[in-house]
Chains A and B, each alone.
Chain A
């Protein structure tokens, strides 16, 4: 049976990889089986998983969103600017609410920009989102003048350091987001339309699917989720550095989606697969770092994983 191996690997590759990674870590990583390790990994995987869910929807329409990291930086730079402002000092509750809502709204606008370029002007997704990929981070740095913003704000920091039932808040957030989007993809008209657009855009158009609105919608969702992720990163660190928030996140998110079984040509949106992919990417990073492998070598390893994951998928397509 030609291609049997790669097909098996593509179908259950994610779970197999997860099991192998866990076993390796139990064997070689010191203190792996401790609650602290679990917390660290949950709090770090959350941002990847949240962005990966949005990326999965975009890729399902045969698009791509390279701007996610930059949008995270914009949202992450805005939040402290708002809750450290005089207005927020005067009205703490209102200020806190604004520092969460406004950055997400701005992120949604970035997504609208991407979506309009792709859906209405017919710009290739790579190029359309490349605009924010570079200039978004520039905007975030212009906003903050390139300064590191540090703060002590227990209310805001809750989204990065708070715990519910002993587990990190953002871990629960991932669960909620994953369930909501799983439901949207599998049980709603919008979800079916996303898959239809990615499966065969012409056919979708002929059967009356509002292709442009659906495409715009996925970029808006992706950017909104990136905005949330940007807020979480800032809350975890109690600091906002526009140059670093979400740096290279597009790669993690694409890798997660692909490892999770999303086809780059569109038509599939395995939401829980993307979350699993994010867990795998995070575990690979953790394994390398916890065992003293340098950051830059980890970069090369990640590049290898992306290539391998896409290659295995090509086998499934045929």
Chain B
């Protein structure tokens, strides 16, 4: 354990090597984009980038907590779709109803995950794979397989399309506030410490008398709620509830969390680094889009999935090296 009073820079860098790497990569890529493309730092690109990626950041935040407990949530993509359909129906009542409604819809499915994992002791990936199916089925049932248009008369679409000063979308402001809140929860509260302890060793945590089940319920419901918020942003930003959207989003979220340095085996995790990881993955796509626009390379939409997979692959390779080095140092 690091003594609180002495700050050793070298040990700090060793301990936070990967998350610092993410920030450096982020800065390098922004600099690269700003120099290479004319409109990269323009208000339109920044605002649409932040608006679109606020969805990926928020599901990555929830995923980060789940992965810290050694679990996984494969249902987030379907939950986004499910929540987006729910809020499309709620949109006539305005954002003040639709926003909590969408989050609650997501939390309900998160609660189901928690029930399966904790009470029925079903492995997280099976439980969340099942709710992935169930939520997708649910989204298709209540939408009648249709894209559900939102009510443009209410203030609902202002949330997903409006911004402060044309550059900071409302969605990213809400997500940023949530990120700060979650950061505090993780670092400063007992539930946050329990989450980290579970990833280190669930049985040991239980023996220490920490509320393991409560913390696990918290992470799955949180992840569902985060995906619900992403569904609100989706419906409000694109003007429709989309039952078929969200395919493969769990992979983006997992990749963002992992690139942020959270070990897939649980335990270590960082909220800011997860946000950075999500931004980095978003930037990869943003830069590829600009390259597409220049006509240098031409990527069809199908490449997106391939690139997401490749990105995850590279991150995993790096992490398997980092964690091996870490294990050696620990021994």
Q: Is A90 an interface residue, CB under 8 A from the partner?
A: no
* CB neighbours of B309 from chain A (8 A): 131-132, 134-136, 138
Partner-contacting stretch, out of A209-217, A233-241, A297-305: A297-305
Q: Are A296 and B141 in contact (CB under 8 A)?
A: yes
CB proximity to A under 8 Å, residues B279-325: 300-310, 312-313, 316-317, 320, 324
Bound Cα distance from A234 to B141, whole angstroms: 29
Q: Is A64 an interface residue, CB under 8 A from the partner?
A: yes
Q: Is A306 an interface residue, CB under 8 A from the partner?
A: yes
User: Please, which residue of chain B has its CB at the minimum distance from the CB of A141?
Assistant: B302
Q: Is A81 an interface residue, CB under 8 A from the partner?
A: no
Partner-contacting stretch, out of B8-16, B117-125, B222-230: B117-125
Q: Known contacts A121-B316, A137-B305, A138-B303: does B133 contact A248 (CB below 8 Å)?
A: yes
* CB neighbours of A101 from chain B (8 A): none
A43 to chain B, nearest CB (A): 24
CB proximity to B under 8 Å, residues A120-138: 121-124, 126-128, 130-138
Q: Known contacts A138-B303, A138-B304: does B254 contact A130 (CB below 8 Å)?
A: yes
Q: Are B116 and A307 in contact (CB under 8 A)?
A: yes
Q: Which of B123, B145, B251, B320 contacts A134 (CB 8 A)?
A: B251
Query: Which applies to chain B's interface (DSSP): helix, strand, loop or mixed?
Result: helix
Q: Are A303 and B130 in contact (CB under 8 A)?
A: yes
Q: Are B316 and A127 in contact (CB under 8 A)?
A: yes
* CB neighbours of A134 from chain B (8 A): 248, 251, 305, 308-309
A85 to chain B, nearest CB (A): 21
Q: Are B306 and A297 in contact (CB under 8 A)?
A: no
Q: Are A303 and B133 in contact (CB under 8 A)?
A: yes
Q: Are A124 and B265 in contact (CB under 8 A)?
A: yes
Q: Which of B137, B302, B306, B317 contacts A303 (CB 8 A)?
A: B137
Q: Mark A102-133, 1 if CB is under 8 A from B, else 0.
A: 00000000000000010001111011101111
User: Please, which residue of chain B has its CB at the minimum distance from the CB of A64?
Assistant: B125
Q: Is B136 an interface residue, CB under 8 A from the partner?
A: yes
* CB neighbours of A126 from chain B (8 A): 72, 125
Bound Cα distance from A311 to B132, whole angstroms: 18
Please give the number of chain B residues whose Cβ is less than 8 angstroms from any Cβ of chain A in the complex: 44
Bound Cα distance from A146 to B305, whole angstroms: 13
Q: Are B302 and A130 in contact (CB under 8 A)?
A: no
Q: Is A254 an interface residue, CB under 8 A from the partner?
A: yes
A204 to chain B, nearest CB (A): 21
Q: Mark B131-154, 1 if CB is under 8 A from A, else 0.
A: 111101110110001000000000
Q: Is A98 an interface residue, CB under 8 A from the partner?
A: no
Bound Cα distance from A314 to B140, whole angstroms: 31
Q: Is B30 an interface residue, CB under 8 A from the partner?
A: no
Q: Known contacts A135-B305, A302-B133: does B141 contact A145 (CB below 8 Å)?
A: no
Bound Cα distance from A254 to B127, whole angstroms: 12
A245 to chain B, nearest CB (A): 14
CB proximity to B under 8 Å, residues A245-297: 248, 250-251, 254, 264, 294-297
Mark A residues whose CB is within 8 Å of B: 64, 117, 121-124, 126-128, 130-139, 141-142, 145-146, 248, 250-251, 254, 264, 294-300, 302-304, 306-307, 310-311, 314
Listed A/B pairs (8) with beta-carbon separation below 8 Å: A132-B309, A135-B305, A264-B123, A296-B137, A296-B145, A299-B137, A306-B130, A310-B122
A135-B310, A145-B300, A311-B121 given; name 18 further pairs at CB < 8 Å.
Answer: A121-B320, A122-B324, A123-B264, A127-B264, A127-B312, A134-B305, A135-B309, A138-B306, A145-B302, A146-B300, A146-B301, A248-B133, A296-B137, A296-B141, A303-B132, A306-B126, A307-B116, A314-B121
